[in-house]
Chain A
């Protein structure tokens, strides 16, 4: 474990040096303990793969005291302290128009398109953390069989809702942005809706399942999302 200052208002607590479920689970458990204990001086926290960035108020707590407290909590940080995860089911349309890399990815992997879809949609994904853009989940859980390096030339523009893979990760773009993942499909569900009372759908630690839907269903759900009448299935 390492505490690295990030300026005068934040400290990065590094719990490992790898992308793994084990290290990330400890990061999320540490964040949960910090929230539960209401650690004095903590302003907000940002979990990521292997570290927790802790923003603090130096008027309320000294850096050394804070690190001592965080160190003690990190000792207890394990899967056992976390509440049971939610499972969120997202419809995903694997259509070459919505997932322009579906066919090239299948060819590169030496798989039939149907087989790639079956493997991709059959997995359960863990949201390691949410970030970069509002509501974007960093997820893993795919079978090794469908891992590909990221695109050599990232796209300038990827539509919101696009579902992509790169390395061991699966990502769902939450807003239109540049992107370097292979795009296999798209969900009509909004992961970020700035006008909604709860603008962000996914949380760190969520499990995500992708349910393949045809184009007509995709369009129908899209209209319901637009009308704010669609609620994705969330199993707490």
Chain B
């Protein structure tokens, strides 16, 4: 098990999320950056969906009470074990009593910590993911606090030092986020759509796992900003009356009554989740078929990143 010494501003337990409950208003939750999360799990020999930690801007300090392996991925952070630097995006073996510190994000927002065996908190509706607003899942439905103790599942120890084969993702200063226009693109003026696809939008600090709030040139409505409430897909870019976009994310409301100009593609959700407040993004439209092809590329790159023998059983 691991014991939290300092939690960081918002560290939650996440797995790949719960499916099938949006029709009851319960979002999937899960990691914002699935790529980084899955790589971390594979580095420690876990199944992709094992529960780990998502840290926000600043990581936790914790001790491990049993020998295990960890991997830290996602945002660019310093990691130390007993005050000695260890690499991120790598398998790190720990002895009982080791103290781990995951530092502040220099680039990106969300770092992931996987622990061999996975965090063994109870399942809620089939998932260990924390849904903060709904106080569901994870550890009592909340972010971690000092002195929290998280049980870890039993697992063989992976070999230390294993690294993904591909380069560690870099964080661009102004990422281009791919979107599919719609479902209500026809409710906006041509100038509004041109603004969305031609201008840069700044990430606002009030963004969270529910939605990324952005500020930039007005995305003008052709006729009203209200629709008959309907389902909100992952990545929906909702535009209320003020013309400013909100990208709805893993902890989103299931339905809503504002127009949605476009939808961020699944493979770029993680990238938008790593955009820091004050940083700017641009949007680029792709057709659905192109988005599916890009998704397959993304899946292939993920397989290649950790497809090798990164998690061999202990020697």
Contacts and interface: CB of A to CB of B under 8 A. Distances in A.
Nearest to B26: A134
Contacts of A48: 228-231, 255
B19 to A, nearest CB: 6
B253 A6 contact: no
Interface string A3-20: 011111110100001110
Contact of B235 (A7, A132, A135, A136): A7
A185 interface: no
A63 B182 CA distance: 15
B231 A12 contact: yes
Nearest to A202: B24
Contacts of B133: 133, 175
Contacts of B235: 7
Nearest to A131: B255
A213 B22 CA distance: 32
Interface string B252-290: 011110001001111100000000000000000000110
A51 B182 CA distance: 15
Contacts of A136: 25
A194 B124 contact: yes
Nearest to A4: B183
B141 interface: yes
Interface string A117-137: 000000000000111111110
Contacts of B106: none
Contacts of A47: 23, 231
A10 B234 contact: yes
A135 B25 contact: yes
B5 interface: no
Nearest to A200: B24
Nearest to B137: A194
Nearest to B295: A8
Contact of B254 (A31, A43, A132, A194): A132
B228 A130 contact: no
Interface residues of A, number: 44
B230 A5 contact: no
Contacts of B234: 7, 9-10
A6 B183 contact: yes
Contacts of B179: 7
B173 interface: no
A200 B19 contact: no
B125 interface: yes
Contact of B230 (A12, A31, A45, A174): A12
Given A12-B231, A55-B233, A174-B25, A5 B180 contact: yes
Name the prevailing secondary structure of the B interface residues: mixed
Contacts of B136: 134, 194, 199
A17 B184 CA distance: 13
A138 interface: yes
Given A47-B23, A49-B230, A133-B253, A7 B134 contact: no
A8 B291 contact: yes
Nearest to A43: B19
B116 interface: no
A9 B24 contact: no
Interface in B121-158: 124-125, 131, 133-137, 141
Contacts of A18: 228
A58 interface: yes
Contact of A132 (B125, B256, B289): B256
B292 interface: yes
B236 interface: yes
Interface in B183-228: 183, 228
A17 B186 CA distance: 15
Given A131-B255, A194-B135, A6 B23 contact: no
B307 to A, nearest CB: 17
A6 B25 contact: no
A192 B134 contact: yes
Nearest to B178: A8
B233 A199 contact: no
7 contacts: A7-B180, A48-B228, A49-B230, A50-B230, A129-B255, A131-B24, A194-B137
